[in-house]
Amino acid sequence: MNDLVRQHTALSETDLEWLHLLVSEWQLLSDLSFADLVLWVPTLDGTRYVSVAQMRPNTGPTSYQDDMVGHLVPRGRRPLLDAALDEGRIVREGDPEWREEVPVRVESIPVRREGRVLGVIARNTNLLTVRTPSRLELTYLQSASDLAQMIAAGTFPFPGEAVDMDASPRAGDGLIRLDADGIVQYASPNALSAYHRLGLAADLVGQHLGQITAELAPSRGPVDEALVKLASGYAPREAEVEGNGGVIQLRAIPLKPKGTRIGSLVLLRDVTELRRRERELITKDATIREIHHRVKNNLQTVAALLRLQARRMDSDQGREALNEAVRRVGSIAIVHETLSQNLDERVEFDEIADRVIAMVAEISPGKVTCRRNGRFGILDAEVATPLSMVLTEILQNALEHAFAQGEHGTVEVTAVRGEPRADARLLITVKDDGRGLPEGFDPQRAGNLGLQIVRTLVEGELGGTFDMQPGAERGTSVVLDIPVQPQK
């Protein structure tokens, strides 16, 4: 719609915002009218109309099999559009049109904003299945007529009340028509069933909806007054009411077809099962986070025990082996700590990488600077956990073997994330400017326990490749190539 309006019309950005607000609401008008709606806007030169939006009803057959958006028609071909635009009134004159052997009643509703007519809504009703209307259908049509008059007067939609069409109740979910005093004149079967879910034992018709709703909902002190006003339809609002184990979503729409409120529409939907499932998911998420939190605490306890044991070791070699184990356990604990703060099993690995780098840098025998370049991005937990251990081992190996006591140096971790596609890969390079590899060193065969762990995790768990080679000028470069899931 933005492109069509800006390309073909003289409407301003504020006018366009009004049309967007209208389109966010007009599914209700379409359903209440049992009719297709097409929004026509005059072109810049005033000689044609362009259709910028279309809506089909959920409550009846469509009048248009084809998509009408983007169609241009010259002025004069559709007299009802001309009359509605020029005279600023709803036009219903004329005989039904025949489209593919289907009679269609056409009406035109001017769209007004601040006294100006921006365009015209063509309301097209398929008359093929016309029959004597029921009480529900009569209520729908009367409500649609009131809303159409409000659109023509520029009082609907309500400014600042943008509606989420997917989340808000629709006419078919449940509809209640109130008079000016908030008394129920009509309640659809779905609406009545929703109130029975809240614990209502009687009929709704003739009852004051606000008072009945407040009685069914648990006592909340001052909130009751606001609930009474909302359910009485005095202002355009949305709320949820919970009682007797049921939850219903309410939306009030004041009806002011001639400037004075004559009553209200209350749309409602039974969302009991939806909210129950949401609560189950929240409980499940909380449980998962608590599990990660406890695992992190247990791992930190193990690390503390290993650290205590290391302090009691007389052997330097044994003490260092235990300290290495402390750092390995610590890297896994960092991942679980991050997962305990998330709602899903995916983590932002850059934070984990920075913490691992800081943790391992504490063992540096010299004045070595560690830094990270690039972004790892978001990774699944099953990738983050082994990758944190791999990164710990590689950094630990570099700091222990690349630099002598008191020697200055740099260790740089670079991450390059591939394009977000199914076969995306993460390329990690850990490069130091230390003494380099010993002569004849084969990283695929030789190496300490740390390198064996790296090879096993990278090739076995992560399904990637691992390589260690001399740097371009000096030092060592370790390259990891790992497949990853696309970022969401």
For 43-99, what is each residue's pLDDT tens digit?
Answer: 999 999 999 999 999 998 998 888 999 999 999 999 999 999 999 999 987 778 888
Q: Is residue 208 pLDDT above 90, yes or no?
A: yes
Kindly state the average pLDDT of the residues 123-133.
86
Strongest mean pLDDT among 210-219, 379-388, 421-430: 379-388
Q: Is residue 396 pLDDT above 60, yes or no?
A: yes
Q: How many CA atoms within 13 Å lie on the side-chain side of 292?
A: 22
Place of tokens 């251990």: 389
Secondary structure of residue 309 in the 3-state scheme: helix
Strongest mean pLDDT among 139-143, 237-241, 352-356: 139-143
Query: CB burial class (10 A; 0-12, 13-18, 19+) of residue 350?
Result: middle
pLDDT bin (cut points 50, 70, 90) of residue 148 is very high
Specify the range with the lowest mean pLDDT, choosing from 21-35, 305-319, 411-425: 411-425
Query: CB burial class (10 A; 0-12, 13-18, 19+) of residue 328?
Result: buried
Q: Is residue 223 pLDDT above 60, yes or no?
A: no
pLDDT attached to residue 364? 64
pLDDT attached to residue 363? 66
Which own/partner contact pairs does 69-76 have at CB distance under 8 Å and 24+ positions apart?
A: 69/1, 69/4, 70/4, 72/8, 72/43, 72/48, 73/40, 73/48, 73/49, 74/47, 74/48, 75/42, 75/46, 75/47, 75/48, 75/49
pLDDT attached to residue 447? 61
pLDDT attached to residue 162? 66
pLDDT bin (cut points 50, 70, 90) of residue 313 is confident
Place of tokens 């409120």: 261
The b-or-e profile of 61-70 (16+ CB within 10 A means b, else e) is ebbbeeebee
Kindly state the average pLDDT of the residues 386-410.
83
Specify whether the CB–CB gap between 36 and 64 falls below 8 A.
Answer: yes
Please count the other Cβ atoms lying within 10 Å of the Cβ belonging to residue 105: 17
Q: Is residue 299 pLDDT above 90, yes or no?
A: no
pLDDT attached to residue 481? 92
Specify whether the CB–CB gap between 203 and 61 falls below 8 A.
Answer: no
Phi/psi at 36 (5° precision): -75, 145
Closest among 208, 209, 118, 108 to 157, alpha carbons compared = 118
Whole-angstrom distance, CA of residue 132 vs CA of residue 228: 36
pLDDT attached to residue 247? 92
pLDDT attached to residue 160? 75
Q: Is residue 356 pLDDT above 90, yes or no?
A: no
Phi/psi at 247 (5° precision): -135, 125
pLDDT attached to residue 282? 76
CA–CA–CA angle 308, 313, 314 (5° rounding)? 150
Kindly state the average pLDDT of the residues 207-236.
79
Strongest mean pLDDT among 95-104, 168-177, 215-224, 456-465: 168-177
pLDDT bin (cut points 50, 70, 90) of residue 405 is confident
Whole-angstrom distance, CA of residue 108 vs CA of residue 81: 6
CA–CA–CA angle 166, 170, 180 (5° rounding)? 135
Please count the other Cβ atoms lying within 10 Å of the Cβ belonging to residue 403: 23
Tabulate helix, strand, coil % of the chain (nearest 5): 40, 25, 35
Tokens standing for 329?
Answer: 């356990």
Specify the range with the lowest mean pLDDT, choosing from 63-77, 167-181, 276-290, 381-395: 276-290
Which DSSP string do the residues of 351-414 spell out, in sequence order? Answer: HHHHHHHHHHHTT-SSEEEEEEEE---EEEHHHHHHHHHHHHHHHHHHHHHSS-TT-EEEEEEE
Pairing of strands 367-374, 408-417: parallel
Whole-angstrom distance, CA of residue 70 vs CA of residue 17: 19
Amino acid symbol at 287: T
What average pLDDT does the chain have? 87
Strongest mean pLDDT among 53-62, 314-323, 345-354, 401-410: 53-62
Whole-angstrom distance, CA of residue 224 vs CA of residue 332: 51
